[in-house]
Amino acid sequence: MEEVFHIVFRDVSLLARFNAIVANYISDFGEDTGNEDERFTTRGTLRRVAVPSYVHDAIYFRDGGECRTCKKPIDRVLSPEARERYDHIVPLAHGGANDITNIQLLCEACNAAKSARSETVSGLYPRVYRLSIG
């Protein structure tokens, strides 16, 4: 079972489609519970929660330390000025979940450009290694 998770976790296109389906359920549930459930905003979407560091590490490793949109390296050692952004693939504002399957690594510029838009995620598997540095 653990092997299945590792295979599915690397396929971000599949995760994006899965989370779009989950978002429909979250939106329906959020509409029904209204203000009675503190996990939801008054608009019926899930509140943002702090992402645990193990999730940051797992996403960073899965995405190869590169922005999933522009492929710029976000190297924690060689480019300390580069800011990692852990983006909700399906934004919370669109019913997205606070779940490891709904998080991707973006650079600061791509994250700012995306804002609360859902957009097609890269279907490419992250590179296992880089051909050149810099």
Listed residue (46, 62, 44, 74) closest to 101, CA to CA: 62
Among 19, 69, 102, 104, binds Zn ion (CB under 5 A): 69
Task: Report the site for Zn ion in 38-67 (rule: CB under 5 A).
Answer: 67
124 binds Zn ion (CB under 5 A): no
From the CB of 64, what's the least distance to Zn ion, in Å? Answer: 13
Residue 51, SS3 per DSSP: coil
Tell which positions 84-113 bind Zn ion, by CB under 5 A: 107, 110
Sign of CA dihedral 111, 79, 15, 88: negative
Helix (H, G, I), strand (E, B) or coil at 88: strand
Residue with smaller CB distance to Zn ion, 70 or 116: 70
Q: How far apart are CA 83 and CA 109, in angstroms?
A: 9
Structure tokens, 30: 């959020």
Q: How far is the CB of 71 from Zn ion (least distance, A)?
A: 7
The three-point CA angle 48-52-55 to 5° equals 105
Report the nearest approach of Zn ion to the CB of residue 111 (Å): 8
For Zn ion, the binding residue among 70, 78, 112, 124 (CB under 5 A) is 70
Give residue 5's identity as a one-letter amino acid code: F
- Using CB under 5 A, count the residues that bind Zn ion: 6
- Residue 96 beta carbon to Zn ion: minimum distance, rounded to whole angstroms: 19
Q: Which spans of this chain sit near Zn ion (rule: CB under 5 A)?
A: 67, 69-70, 72, 107, 110
